[in-house]
Amino acid sequence: MQPVAPHHDSEPGGSQRTDGRLKILMAITELDAGGAERAFVRVAKGLSERGYQIEVVSLRDAGVLADELRQSSIPVHALKCSRMSPMSILRLIPHLRRFQPDLVLSFLHEANLATRLAAAICRIPVVISGIRVADRRCFVRWTELLTSGFVTHYVAVSQNVARIHAQLSNVPLERFTVIYNGVEPASVALRPVSRSDLQIPDGNRVILFAGRLVEQKAPMDLLKAFLALPDDQKKSVSLVFVGDGPLKSKIESFIASNQLKTMVRLIGWRADLASIMKASDVLVLPSYWEGVPNVLLEAMSIGLPVIASRVDGTSEVIDDGVTGTLFAAGNISELTSRLEEFLLHPEHSAVLAVAAQSVCDKHFTWQHCVDGFQRLVQQLSR
């Protein structure tokens, strides 16, 4: 589909548009293998495939996802800035002046701030900020309040994220569009990893955690809930953590001090997460806040049962008791009860997983996601 060209005779800065294609500079804090980063890459590739001229800026290093963009002929520029550095604004300005985009689209708080301020200096006409989570931290709230006047429009990953961010930032909800994440359809030929590869005994049930080992994701809550399971249940269960982060040493200490080494596996980041999901029996997502986590949609698309905290976008995707199981975030005893229910009645969870897979296939696709961004870009560039 050919994008609609903006209704003006020249690009910002005065140079004439020669091919009619909208130029979009997309900015993100980093391009490591996180859920928001993978969604960002999928949107960039989708818009590029539909004829938009895309360039990408990462405030930090290029990251592991940069090659995927470059393979799609999308230029990637790494500013190599440290966390929350004012240099990100100064280094972004030359890229805006050289590329002269019709609009800028950013993901994640730090990139949102830098892009808003740099775009204001360069007089870029349209600024879209992508809000991936309802971040309630004080410094996020105040910086959002101070810079909201530089934003043309917000894209939120869920209705709850839009509502909460609008309240925290004192921004009218009318300035938000909700575009849900998508997920790649699960391959029929996808094979599970072997239990021996994960060093898990044959016959054990596998409880899977996949995500960054940070406070937001609450991996310690899952460990404590697992520890509270009856001993006879724990003996036939393996808890697998896929991911890395600053809580790794704390998790390792907890495992050692509670004699859980034979039951809990920390395997770090893995590129074959989908195959690990196929070898698992349930995904647990105990986060304190979320947007719409990709790992949740990936599990649903594969048909893996899900137990998740009742937060933000997660509660929009999972219908408790219909397509998955929810519990109150931070309530370790309730999480333990949900794990016991799963271990005692796995057939019920399997029914929920089938229903979740059907919902995911119908409503959470990357085509729907990119369609939403394209409609918004066309609307705002007129």
CATH at 333: 3.40.50.2000
Same domain, 166 and 226: no
Amino acid at 355: A
Helical spans, DSSP H, in the chain: 35-49, 66-71, 87-99, 109-122, 138-147, 159-169, 219-227, 231-234, 248-257, 273-278, 294-302, 314-317, 332-344, 346-363, 366-380
d(CA 205, CA 283): 11
d(CA 40, CA 327): 29
pTM above the 0.85 mark? Answer: no
Same domain, 261 and 325: yes
Residue 6 resides in a domain: no
Residues whose CB is less than 8 angstroms from the CB of residue 214 and which lie 6 or more positions away in sequence, other chains included: 245, 246, 247
Residues whose CB is less than 8 angstroms from the CB of residue 175 and which lie 6 or more positions away in sequence, other chains included: 151, 153, 154, 166
Same domain, 147 and 271: no
Same domain, 33 and 174: yes
Q: Per-residue pLDDT for 51 more than 70?
A: yes
Same domain, 150 and 297: no
Residue 378 pLDDT: 94
Nearest to 98 by CA among 41, 25, 4, 45: 25
Residue 8 resides in a domain: no
Same domain, 85 and 164: yes
Tokens of 365: 């696709």
Range of the domain at 349: 205-363
Least confident of 4-8, 38-42, 63-67, 289-293: 4-8
Same domain, 172 and 35: yes
Return the higher-pLDDT residue of 5 and 193. Answer: 193
Same domain, 30 and 159: yes
| Number of domains observed in the structure of the chain | 2
d(CA 25, CA 6): 15
Same domain, 178 and 213: no
* Average pLDDT over every residue of 269-296: 91
Same domain, 152 and 260: no
Residue 323 pLDDT: 95
Same domain, 249 and 156: no
* Average pLDDT over every residue of 29-52: 92
d(CA 267, CA 208): 11
Same domain, 277 and 175: no
Tokens of 18: 């020669």
Residue 306 resides in a domain: yes
* Average pLDDT over every residue of 258-279: 93
* Cβ contact 55:25 at 8 Å: yes
Residue 154 resides in a domain: yes
